[in-house]
Amino acid sequence: MQQRRPSRMCAELKQYLTLTLRHLGFSTFESNMLAVPCAVLQMITVIGVAWSSQKFNERTWHCIVAHLFAVPFLVALEAMPVNTGMWERYSCTMFIVGAPSYYPIVLSWLSESSFSVKKRAISVSTFSATTVVGAILAAQAYQKRDEPYYYTGNKILIGSALLACLMFIVQRWVLSRANKERDKAWEAMPIPRQAEYQKTTEEMEFDGNQRLDFRFPL
């Protein structure tokens, strides 16, 4: 399964949320208080997306929805004229920061797709490393020269979100194709051979997700 870092498109806004609100004209106290609804909203959206993914046993489209959640509000910030009020900008910022993270979904997805303990350990550690790299890259989206409304940074976030969605769609197609090819190979195998194949537990750990009776979760 292709390794991907979780969404970092809003990482910069989350990291410097109170400072961003100060730039919009809010006081220090107001900025701290206004950060609370953003945190609560993200808690709700993260739990909601994870629960829905588990209930419907689906991952790809849930990750895409999580990515696209903030895009309309980023577009709105891009379209707002300079003289737009601070409360209008805060409303969009709140939904951007409150966008669901699909980290729990991707982490469990990797675990399921790895099948064997050894591959699972490697994939999860690689995933964690790419998450750190993603955080470093996300910190470069908003530059000081782009203050205070970060029009260029918002364009970068919109582009990265759409690119990530395309990657999810391509990966779903690749995994779906692999599953169909294994279905054909499995159906062509005689039933006694299928039973014998499934009894070879010694080879399961070695073959892992390359086995004919393994299907990648989508």
What pLDDT is stored for residue 63 in this prediction?
92
What pLDDT is recorded for position 111? 84
Q: Which helix (DSSP H) or strand (DSSP E) does residue 152 occupy?
A: helix 151-188
* pLDDT band of 202, cuts 50, 70, 90: low
Dig out the tokens for 87 from the structure: 């409360």
- Is residue 66 included in any domain, yes or no? yes
Residue 218 lies in a domain: no
Residue 148 sits at φ, ψ, to 5 deg, of: -95, -5
Tens of pLDDT along 16-70? 788 778 878 888 888 889 889 988 999 999 999 999 999 999 999 999 999 899 9
Q: Each residue of 117-168: pLDDT tens digit?
A: 777 888 888 888 888 887 788 778 878 787 778 888 888 889 988 998 999 9
CA angle (102, 105, 108) in 5-degree steps: 145
pLDDT, position 21: 84
What tokens appear for 61 in the block? Answer: 């489209």
Q: What is the pLDDT of residue 3?
A: 42
| Residue for token pair 């779906």 | 176
**Rounded to an integer, what distance in angstroms lies between the CA atom of residue 158 and that of residue 138?**
13
Is 175 in contact with 201 (CB distance < 8 Å)?
no
Q: Does residue 181 have a pLDDT over 70?
A: yes
The answer to whether residue 73 is domain-embedded is yes
- Distances in Å between the alpha carbon of 213 and those of 1, 123, 145, 156, 194? 16, 21, 55, 42, 9
Measured between its terminal Cα atoms, the distance across the chain in Å is 11
Tell me, what CATH number does 152's domain have? 1.20.1250
Is 212 a member of any domain? no
* Euclidean distance between CA atoms 149 and 199, whole angstroms: 62
Its pTM stands at 0.82
Q: What is the pLDDT of residue 40?
A: 93
> What per-residue confidence (pLDDT) applies to 43?
92
Looking at residue 47, its pLDDT comes to 93
- Assess if residue 25 is contained within a domain: yes
At 104-125, the pLDDT tens digits run: 898 888 888 887 777 788 888 8
Within-domain flag for 195 = no
pLDDT at residue number 95: 92
**Longest CA span, the chain:** 74
CA dihedral sign of residues 46, 52, 57, 58: negative
- The stretch 179-196 carries a mean pLDDT of 86
Q: Could you give the number of structural domains in the chain?
A: 1
Residue 22 belongs to a domain: yes
> Residue 209 in contact with residue 50, Cβ under 8 Å?
no
187 located within any domain: no
- The answer on pLDDT for 79 being more than 70 is yes
| Interatomic CA distance for residues 4 and 89, integer angstroms | 31
Q: Which domain holds residue 19?
A: 11-177
